[in-house]
Amino acid sequence: MTTEQLKEHAYRQIEQHYRDNYKRLYKMYGRLMSNRHLGEEVVQEAYTNALQHWAFITPDLDMDKFIGTILRNCANSARNTEKLHGIVDRYETVETIASSAIPNILLGEIKDRIRKKPDNIVYILNLYLFEQYTNKEIAELVPETANNIRQIVHRFRTEIKNDYHWSI
C-alpha cells in the first residue's frame, strides 16, 4: 500500500471508531470533566489528534486503546488548563432547561418569575437556564463568583420546585 492509501485507511478506521462511540464518549467525558461542553471538546480534540497521528495505525492496532490513550491525555491537558485559569469546581454541572421537557405553561411561569427578579439575577438565570452557559462562563461576564452564581441558580430551582413541584 502507498502512504496515501495507508493514510486513507487510517482515517476510515478513526472515523468508524468515532461513529460507533461518540455518544458514549461524550456522556462519559462530560461526567468525568464535570462539564458536558468540556467533555465534548475533549472527545473532539482526541479524535483530531488521532487523525494527526494516523501513521501509528497499523492493521493489528487496538483502536480502543489507541483512542483511549489519546482521550486520557486530552482530558488531563484540559484539566490542567482549567486549573491554570482558576479553580474548577469538580461538582459543577451544566443542567439546562430543555423547553420540550417541561410544559409550556410552566415555562411561561418560569420566565415570568425570572423577569420579576433584579436585573443582575435575570441576566444570570437567563444565561444559565436558557443559553446553557456554565457558572464559570457567567462569572467572566458578571461581577459574581462561580460559587455565587451556582447558589443563585440553586435557590431559583428550589423556589420553582417548591411552588410547582417540578424540577428544572
- The answer to whether residues 18 and 57 belong to one domain is yes
Instruction: Mark which of 55, 84, 113 sits at the end of a domain.
Output: 84
Is residue 90, in this structure, part of any structural domain at all?
no
The model's confidence at residue 92, banded by pLDDT at 50, 70 and 90, is very low
**pLDDT tens digits, 97-155:** 444 445 666 777 888 899 999 998 999 998 888 888 888 889 988 898 989 999 999 99
- The answer to whether residues 57 and 104 belong to one domain is no
Is residue 89, in this structure, part of any structural domain at all?
no
The region of weakest confidence among 34-38, 79-83, 95-99, 137-141 is 95-99
Say how many domains are in the chain. Answer: 2
- The answer to whether residues 12 and 70 belong to one domain is yes
Is residue 143, in this structure, part of any structural domain at all?
yes
Write out the three cell numbers for 76.
488531563
The boundaries of the domain holding residue 78 are 3-84
CA-to-CA distance for 43 and 28, rounded, in angstroms? 10
Is residue 93, in this structure, part of any structural domain at all?
no
Question: For residue 5, what are the contacts with CB-CB under 8 A and spacing of at least 6?
Answer: none
**Closest-CA residue to 8 (of 39, 54, 75):** 54
pTM for the model stands at: 0.49
Is residue 58, in this structure, part of any structural domain at all?
yes
Residue matched to cell numbers 435575570? 122
Is residue 147, in this structure, part of any structural domain at all?
yes
Report the CATH number that the domain containing residue 133 is assigned in CATH.
Answer: 1.10.10
- The answer to whether residues 79 and 123 belong to one domain is no
Is residue 110, in this structure, part of any structural domain at all?
yes
CA-to-CA distance for 151 and 149, rounded, in angstroms? 5
The model's confidence at residue 85, banded by pLDDT at 50, 70 and 90, is low
Is residue 72, in this structure, part of any structural domain at all?
yes
- The answer to whether residues 113 and 80 belong to one domain is no
Strand ranges inside the chain, DSSP E: none
- The answer to whether residues 129 and 153 belong to one domain is yes
